[in-house]
Amino acid sequence: MNEMQIRGRVSASTKVWPGVKIWIRDVKEDVRTEYKAVTFILEEGLIRVSKYEEPDELAKKGLDGYSSN
């Protein structure tokens, strides 16, 4: 998990609904607007929304014993 948190990114290829909670490191964001195909990025202690970025291979693999699906 620590390896994945270093990147400070969460990508969603489909919809993200209002009410979803996004955690990146120790920063939490409550989604208030519906989004489609976005990436949440931690920058300077704040989570911002940008266009969708495909996760790299390490993020897709996930941690041993865990699923990223």
- Between CA 31 and CA 34 the distance in angstroms is 8
* Count of Cβ atoms closer than 10 Å to residue 53 Cβ: 13
Angle at 14 between CA 11 and CA 20, to 5 degrees: 70
For tokens 């400070």, the residue is 8
For residue 3, the model assigns a pLDDT of 46
Residue 8 confidence class, pLDDT cut points 50, 70, 90: confident
For residue 65, the model assigns a pLDDT of 53
**Domain boundaries in the chain?**
2-61
DSSP conformational letter for 33 = S
Q: Give the tens place of pLDDT for each residue, 14-66.
A: 999 999 999 998 999 999 999 999 999 999 899 999 999 998 776 666 655 55
